Amino acid sequence: MTTITVTEEVSIITFANIPYDSESSFICSVFSAAARENVIIDMISKAPVSAESTSIGFTFSDSDMPKILKVSNEVKPAKPPMINSGNVKFLIKSAEMVEGVGFAEKVFKALANAKANPILITTALDEISVVVRESDSTDFDSELRKMF
């Protein structure tokens, strides 16, 4: 059985150009500041190191935007973070992902059929989370429900 959970009003912040040699301490300072501000962090994505730097991003509720701006000011990134709000998160969960092949293909086929571009994707053992723009969410939802 596959379940699809939809969460609206999702924002993403991405800190880019984090020097590799200070990566752990910078990321720790971001998450510590977010915890002090009582921001609930959901999806976390870290890019592989490239040219001695990396980036990290995560999702949070649109309503926490003032808190995230305070966090960003506190951690003083070398480059201003990119923030994208007003998005929709789809959590597609199924044992099929663990036991079968082609599950991710179905999710990406639904994205392609909806002409929706994913903003952020994370996975776990039995689930894929995909964030899309609000304007793409209705078509993506329809395509997902056709697939599953």
Query: What is the residue-averaged pLDDT of the chain?
Result: 95
Kindly report the pTM of this predicted structure. Answer: 0.92
Q: Which two tokens stand for residue 85?
A: 């709000």
pLDDT in tens, 65-112: 999 999 999 999 989 999 999 999 999 999 999 988 999 999 999 999
| pLDDT tens readout for residues 2-24 | 999 999 999 999 999 998 888 89
Q: Are strands 82-94 and 2-19 parallel, antiparallel or unpaired?
A: antiparallel
Is 31's pLDDT higher than 90? yes
Phi, psi angles (nearest 5°) of residue 53: -145, 170
- Which residues are paired to 92 by β-bridges? 4, 128
- Domains observed in the chain: 2-7+86-147 (3.30.70.260), 11-84 (3.30.70.260)
Closest to 120 in 3D by CA, of 8, 10, 4: 10
